[in-house]
Amino acid sequence: MASALDAVHRRAAREGAARVERIVLRIGALAGVDVGALRFAYEALAPGSVAEGAALDIEEVPARAWCRRCDAEFAAGRGLIFQCPFCQEYSGEIRAGRELGIARLEFTLPS
């Protein structure tokens, strides 16, 4: 979370934001992030920063894998190898679910 908050600070500084109103993070199911721990860290780190008092929204991106044989995407569970629900082929190709970053930042400019 410290690095995510750094990214928020850098972006807020670049845009000349006076105050960050809302932070929307996009986190993939396979990103290895504990959302509860992340929120807790945010509560600890935000006070005194430009992000103090900002709402923290988290968009969770479900894991999706891709089957080479069917050329189809399907919902993946946890792990490294996923079984295609259409042809039962095994696949290790992740198409979504590893995202970790800022989806959107809402801020006010100095008046």
| Interface residues toward Zn ion, by CB under 5 A | 67, 69-70, 84, 86-87, 89
Q: For residues 3 and 88, which CB has a smaller minimum distance to Zn ion in the complex?
A: 88
Q: How far is the CB of 80 from Zn ion (least distance, A)?
A: 17
Q: For residues 46 and 63, which CB has a smaller minimum distance to Zn ion in the complex?
A: 63
Q: Which of 62, 52, 2, 63 is nearest to 23 (CA)?
A: 52
Q: For residues 27 and 84, which CB has a smaller minimum distance to Zn ion in the complex?
A: 84
Q: How far is the CB of 85 from Zn ion (least distance, A)?
A: 8
Helix (H, G, I), strand (E, B) or coil at 21: strand
Q: Who contacts 96 (Cβ-Cβ below 8 Å, separation ≥6)?
A: 28, 61, 62, 63, 64, 73
